[in-house]
Chains A and B, each alone.
Chain A
Amino acid sequence: MKADRPLRLVSSVVCLVLAFASCTSNRGADAPTMTGLALEPAPDVSALSLPDAGNGGAPFRTRAAPGGLLLVYFGYTSCPDVCPTTMSDLRVAESSLTEAQQGRVRFAMVTIDPSRDSDELLTRYVRSFAADGHALRTEDATELRAAAAAFGADFGVKDGGMGQPEVLHTGWVYVVDDRGRLRLQWPFGTTSEDMASDLRVLLTEAVGRA
């Protein structure tokens, strides 16, 4: 049945996650269950920095503030379907947290299409989803590729000739803690309830550690 299609897409991604998860779920039985995929050991992205277009291009390190979480997304502003869907889900997830929790979660989006996404455009776009969000943009293709690789993200922008450029990107949201460890990643299609639940677990853990 045709109506199954988006579901099949989600389920294939979920199967992928489960396949990964079964290899990595060797932690204690009392650990709270999270929906997102956790790689072990958690990749270290603390050394990475990208220019923050909303802050005059000042280097922004992909590491959360103490006790907080940083959500990182690789996308582009002319993305009609996947990015706005994910942004909307993230916004719903964040709004279901307490005000204190919301204050500890920051959002950063890295444009994978810097030739079309100007500093100004990207900043407006990011801030319309998250007023305190970070708009990360580099024109250095090597730097962008290295940043994406550190998160395990892939992307590609192919000139579409007369038509729209053909854009490919990993539709995951990455959750980074205050030590700059990539703690969790959510595939496209993760519900806002699951995101919120995972965020609560990680935020509670950060309080316990502080």
Chain B
Amino acid sequence: MTSLRIALAVACLAASAGLIACGDDGGSSPSAVAVRDAWARSTADGQTAGAAYMKITGGSVDDRLLTAATPSDVARAVELHETVVAGGGMGSMTMRELDGLDVPAEETVQMSPGGYHVMLVDLAAPLVVGRSFDLVLTFANAGPQTVRVSVRDT
């Protein structure tokens, strides 16, 4: 676990470094957030819901992800979710819909399997490896950001 934590800390540091580098380009506003490694798992035949994952790094001020949206040829609706261990034991897991996700300044929030995810409700078509689609993330401060999500197996 310790090595994982260290790896995560290093990843966060690297992410912050990347953000600073981006800031040096000029263009981006001080409240900008950076979204990286956006991916969705390919879906099985008959699977009607999917999930997208990514890393979101806050800008110079605290921000909050409010909504996510995709074109209707990807999914009917998009929701922000968190997978949580339900009470009562036996390793029961369930999902909780979030009304937003805090992205503290210069911190990285990881959306990953078994944790936070963007749920794609009623997929219009299966998600196929190698394809990609647009996801519009709307932040309280940074406003709407379009992210390209690539479809992968793992």
Contact = CB atoms under 8 A, between A and B. Distances in A.
Interface of A: 1-7, 9-13, 16, 77-82, 84-85, 87-89, 92, 121-122, 124-125, 127-129, 152-156, 163-164, 166-172, 187-189
Contacts of A1: 8-9, 12, 107
B62 to A, nearest CB: 12
Interface residues of B, number: 51
B86 interface: yes
Contacts of B109: 2-3
A127 B45 contact: yes
B108 A2 contact: yes
23 contacts: A1-B8, A5-B110, A5-B116, A7-B4, A78-B47, A82-B83, A82-B114, A88-B153, A88-B154, A92-B154, A125-B46, A152-B90, A154-B88, A155-B92, A164-B121, A166-B95, A167-B94, A167-B95, A168-B92, A169-B94, A170-B92, A171-B91, A188-B93
B63 to A, nearest CB: 12
A188 B95 contact: no
A175 B92 CA distance: 18
A3 B11 contact: yes
Contact of B90 (A9, A11, A154, A164): A154
A81 B84 contact: no
A11 B1 contact: yes
B93 A169 contact: yes
Given A1-B107, A80-B119, A81-B114, A153 B44 contact: no
B153 A80 contact: no
Contact of A166 (B11, B93, B94, B108): B94
Contacts of A7: 1, 4-5, 8
Nearest to A15: B1
A85 B152 CA distance: 12
B113 A80 contact: no
A169 B115 CA distance: 15
A84 B5 CA distance: 25
A162 to B, nearest CB: 11
B110 A84 contact: no
Interface string B125-142: 000000000000000000
Contact of B113 (A16, A85, A163): A85
A87 B43 CA distance: 10
Contact of B92 (A2, A11, A154): A154
Interface string B43-85: 1111111110001000000000000000000000001011111
Contacts of B88: 154
Given A82-B83, A189-B114, A13 B46 contact: no
Contact of A77 (B11, B46, B79): B46
